[in-house]
Chain A
Amino acid sequence: MTAPVQQFKRQAEVLTHDLRHREIIQTALGKYAVVRDKNRGAFQDYQSARQAAAETKWEAINHLDKHLEQLVSKLEARGTKVHWASTGDQAREIIQKILREKKARSIIKSKAMTSEEIHLNHALEEEGFEVVESDLGEFIVQLKKETPYHIVFPAMHLTRGEIRDLFNKELAANATDNPEELTMVARRVMRQKYITADIGFTGANFAIAETGMISITENEGNARLTAALPKTMITLVGIEKVLPRLEDLALFLPMLATSGTGQPLTCYNTMYSGPRQPGEPDGPEEWHVVLLDNRRSELLADPEQRDALHCIRCGACLNVCPIFRNVGGHTYGTTYSGPIGSVITPHLRGLDEWKHLSYSSSLCGACTETCPVKIDLAHHLLQNRRNSVQKKSSPAWKLGFELMNFVFKRPGFYEFVAPLGRAAQKLHPMIAGKAFDPAFPWTKTRSAPKIAKQTFKEWWRERG
């Protein structure tokens, strides 16, 4: 198996040269930026709103134990069955056990990145269950046998024409690339699935401790149908999704929508507080909430980076990230891509294997600047780099920096850098841009800067 770093570099090489792909992403995200900025303007003071959101998340995460206990007791009080899963394996086993007990065959799902994180669909399909994604973007990538391209826009890398071809091939549709028409194709398939599914599976955007509610925001109404029609509902929630109070949603729902899609609010915002109660005419008969840790508590134990648990999965950092915009979501090879993925994947899946994501950043800080809950993303990339070197340094890089230090700390040696550089540069044009040029990573696409005829220090000394 290829190491993730090789996989990343190979894919990045391909996609950075795919100008069509780059154009699709830049255009989509350019449109997002325009509406996002417009709707940020609808906040009385957007920067204060960010500060308030960050503080609420600090409170939620710093007292996570207390909030989780409260959440669970409120959920259980209305008859919800709550399960604790320390690992992805455990979460899958819990869910599979429920499915077996219910003798379920088919599952309709609304969008849940946590289920991607634990590779749920794959495990369920292996066992013979039918799993259907009901979010349109997720439905498309599922048909294409791909993972979501982006936390919020799973199919943003596909054009209407590609989706038309996919639907015509996989669903025997006879559609044009008209968006309404394509949506109706998906809708016809899904409506049947909602009615026949044994299980409705959802994720969660927020979990309200005070009232024991799960908040789901969406634009298609698919999560509502997923939750309302099947007899049994299962919700998988990362433990960091907790908010202390119901009123916190007044800030977080518009914050999530504006950061996520640029909307003032998403079209449907629903709070689920329990299964069907006595006397109620509809709703699932049973509701299982699975709380997923999967190394989140290890991140909580890291005083430098625990604010990464503030993340509301809005994808805003991906949208502004110049690396994401040039290499795309799949290149990362992770569930969570972009800056937040580069920060948390080493914590969730191991630093050794995933540290390259922290290095593949120019540290421009656009992510930190846009994050609605003020996660110190760019600096966390630096900390991941430091931590990986502390665990295992590269002998070549270490030697390089030691040599550099040796020269830079000794003016007598540093004086020779300019004359030696000038001599080397006389010969360099012969090999510049060729594969055996030691500076090839630079000179392949860039001309090399020239050592000046007179350096600053030479000038300074000359003027006396």
Chain B
Amino acid sequence: MTVSLFIPCFVDLLYPKVGISIVQILERLGHKIDFAEELNCCGQPAFNSGYWDEARELAAPVVKRLKNAEAVVIASGSCGAMLKVFYPQLFAGTELETDAKKLSSKCFEFSDFLVTKLGVTDLGAKFPAKVTFHDGCHGLRELGIKRSPRALLEKVQGLQLVEMKEEICCGFGGTFAAKFPMISTAMGDVKCAQAAETGADYIISNDSSCLMHIQGLLEKQGKKLKTIHLAEVLTSR
């Protein structure tokens, strides 16, 4: 299958290993990558801030470029929710409405693509560590992805997964993190404390944006706990 890949700006600039791992995994499974190189952003920051006209300006090229793809894999649950759930709302009543719906049906968050679309869980990875998993809220509640990342982690050799006591937001929330930094930070502290309670060495997530916030807090506080994206775990040997 030809898999169209959407890499959001923060993965491109800050976490390229996530994208590279996704490419390596999909190619190893025999799929051809069609990388939408000219796309940089799904438009979510503007959309979430209420600037829907500005969001459409970035989103329209995404819809046009990817609408005829066989399948679109997105390296973030949050951007995935934007394409899959919010584009049809953003373009409702415009000439791109049909195309946005067409695209929506083909969009997959990376871990969910592997498990529900390809039926793959064992990638032969090895990651000997005690870990906990953070569900990005958009992936969890907008896309309903809970089982897929865990199904993949179960097959990773040496990995011990300990769940946190709650499914709770880490407090990133895009522009919220900068507009209300005190609330965002308090939420992040709650998250980090729950992760630390598990005794894990790593917080794994399928969303780099959450990890950017969590890692930032942990580093600033000099904590030992580390963060890593699921895709990187799945390419560990």
Which residues on A are within 8 Å of B, measured CB to CB? 9, 12-13, 16-17, 22, 26, 33, 322-323, 325-327, 359-366, 368-369, 378, 382, 385-390, 393, 397-398, 401-402, 404-405, 408-409, 411, 414, 417-418, 421, 433, 441-442, 444-452, 454-460
Interface readout for B180-201 with A: 1 if CB under 8 Å, 0 if not?
1111111110100000000000
| Cα(A445)–Cα(B221), bound, Å | 8
Which of A362, A389, A458 interacts with B176 by CB under 8 Å? A362
| B187 and A326 within 8 A (CB) | yes
Stretch of B7-15, B110-118, B121-129 contacting A (4+ beta carbons < 8 Å): B7-15
| B35 and A366 within 8 A (CB) | no
> Of B10, B186, B212, which is in contact with the most chain A CB atoms at under 10 Å from its CB?
B186
A-chain residues with CB within 8 Å of residue B49 when the two chains form the complex: 359, 385, 389, 397, 401
The interface residues of chain B, by DSSP majority, are classed as: helix
| B41 and A408 within 8 A (CB) | yes
Stretch of B51-59, B66-74, B95-103 contacting A (4+ beta carbons < 8 Å): B51-59
Which of B173, B181, B182 interacts with A362 by CB under 8 Å? B173
| A398 and B54 within 8 A (CB) | yes
| Cα(A360)–Cα(B17), bound, Å | 32
The 7 closest A-B CB pairs, nearest first, are: A362-B173, A446-B216, A385-B50, A364-B169, A389-B50, A365-B141, A364-B137
Kindly provide the distance from the CB of B165 to the nearest chain A CB, expressed in whole angstroms: 9
Can you offer 13 A-B residue contacts whose CB atoms are under 8 A? A327-B183, A365-B138, A382-B48, A393-B50, A401-B46, A405-B54, A409-B61, A411-B37, A445-B217, A450-B14, A456-B16, A458-B16, A459-B20
> Of A327, A411, A445, which is in contact with the most chain B CB atoms at under 10 Å from its CB?
A445
B interface residue count range (under 10 / 10 to 19 / 20 to 34 / 35 or more): 35 or more
Closest Cβ neighbor of B16 among chain A residues = A456
| Cα(A217)–Cα(B181), bound, Å | 39
| Cα(A440)–Cα(B55), bound, Å | 26
| Cα(A298)–Cα(B174), bound, Å | 31
Kindly provide the distance from the CB of B118 to the nearest chain A CB, expressed in whole angstroms: 22
| A12 and B168 within 8 A (CB) | no
Kindly provide the distance from the CB of B192 to the nearest chain A CB, expressed in whole angstroms: 11
| B169 and A362 within 8 A (CB) | yes
State which residues 183-237 of B face A: CB under 8 Å: 183-188, 190, 212-213, 215-217, 219-220
Interface flag for B149 (CB, 8 Å): no
